[in-house]
Amino acid sequence: AQSVSQHNHHVILSEAASLELGCNYSYGGTVNLFWYVQYPGQHLQLLLKYFSGDPLVKGIKGFEAEFIKSKFSFNLRKPSVQWSDTAEYFCAVKGSNAGNMLTFGGGTRLMVKP
Amino acid sequence: DTAVSQTPKYLVTQMGNDKSIKCEQNLGHDTMYWYKQDSKKFLKIMFSYNNKELIINETVPNRFSPKSPDKAHLNLHINSLELGDSAVYFCASSQSATGGELFFGEGSRLTVL
C-alpha cells in the first residue's frame, strides 16, 4: 500500500521568506508524485508533478520540488513567498501498480503574513 | 466553461435523509473519481469509474452508491445520512485509469445536522 506523510501541518511565514514543505512517501516501486494547492474555498489545482527524468521539477507560480529517491521525499520549495500563496498544500503519490489512484498526504496549511 | 462541475455546492440536511451530488466533466476523460475531504482537510478516495465501470471502491459504507450513466457523469447518492458524512466531496476526472493529471471540481460541502 502507498502512503504519504506531510510533517508540517501549519506553516506561518512573512512575505519574501523562503518556503520548504516536507513530503515523504511509502511505496516500494516506481512512483509518480504531485503537489496540489487548494486556495481558500476553492478546488484543488495541480502545482507540479514528477513522472521521470530530472528530479528537480518546476511548476507554476515559482514553485519547484525535488524528488530524492533515496529519501523517499518530494519536498516543495519556493524562494520567496507572497501573501497570495496562502493556501493548503497537498502532496500526493501514485504507485505504478495503483492505476491512477492518488493517495494524498494530510496537507500543510500555509499562511503568509503581508 | 468549467471542466469539472459539481452540484450542489452546498447541501445542509438532517440525519437519516437521502441526498445526491452530481458531477459532470466536459474534458472527454475516461475516468472519474469521488474523493472525501474531512474537517481536518484529509483527502481520501472513495470511488473511481472508468468508462462507466467501477474500478476502485475503497471500503466505503454501502450507504454510498455511485452511479455513472455515461463517462462524462458520475453521481454520488448517499442513503440514511449520518453526522460523520459531513465533509466536502470532490469529484475529479483524468484522461485514463492508468495515468494523467486529475482535474478536480470545486467541491460539494455536505453538512448533516
- Give the pLDDT band of residue B18 (cuts 50, 70, 90): very high
Chain A neighbors of B94, CB-CB under 8 A: 100
Answer whether A107 touches B (CB < 8 Å): yes
Residue B108 has pLDDT above 90, yes or no: yes
Averaged pLDDT for residues A34-52 = 91
Contact B34, B74 (CB under 8 A): yes
pLDDT of res. A83: 96
CA–chain centroid gap for A109, Å, is 12
pLDDT band at A100 (very low <50, low <70, confident <90, very high): low
Q: Is A23 exposed, middle or buried (0-12, 13-18, 19+ CB in 10 A)?
A: buried
Residue ranges of domains in chain A, CATH in brackets: 3-113 (2.60.40.10)
CA pair distance A107, A23, nearest whole angstrom: 9
CA distance A32 to B99: 9
Distance from CA of A20 to the nearest CA of B (A): 20
pLDDT band for position A98 (cuts 50, 70, 90): low
| Residues contacting residue B92 through CB under 8 Å, at least 6 positions apart | B4, B32, B33, B34, B35, B102, B103, B104, B105
Report the number of distinct structural domains present in chain B: 1
End-to-end CA distance of chain A: 41
The length of chain B, given as a count of residues: 113
Q: What is the pLDDT of residues B63-104, one digit of tens each?
A: 999 999 999 999 999 999 999 999 999 999 998 887 778 899
How big is the CA angle at B26 (ends B69 and A44), to the nearest 5 degrees?
105
Q: Quote the CA–CA distance of B64 and B82 in Å, as a whole number.
A: 11
What are phi and psi for residue A52, nearest 5 degrees?
A: -170, 175
Percent residues over pLDDT 90 in chain A: 73
Residue A99, pLDDT > 90, answer: no
pLDDT of residue B39: 86
Per the structure, the complete domain to which residue B107 belongs is given by: 4-112
* CATH code assigned at B16: 2.60.40.10
Q: Which has the minimum average pLDDT: A21-25, A48-52, B93-97?
A: B93-97
A102, A3 contact by CB (below 8 A): no
d(CA B20, CA A114): 41
The alpha-carbon gap from B63 to the nearest alpha carbon of chain A, in Å, equals 22
Residue of chain A whose alpha carbon sits nearest to that of B103: A45
Residue A17 has φ and ψ, to the nearest 5°, of -70, 160
According to DSSP, the β-strands at B19-25 and B4-7 are: antiparallel
Using beta carbons and an 8 Å cutoff, which residues of B are at the interface with A?
4, 31, 35, 40-45, 48, 55-56, 90, 94, 96-102, 104-107
Nearest chain B residue (CA) to A35 = B101
B contacts of A88 (beta carbons < 8 Å): 41
Distance from C-alpha of A63 to C-alpha of A45, rounded to nearest angstrom: 13
Give the gap in angstroms from C-alpha A79 to the nearest C-alpha of chain B: 26
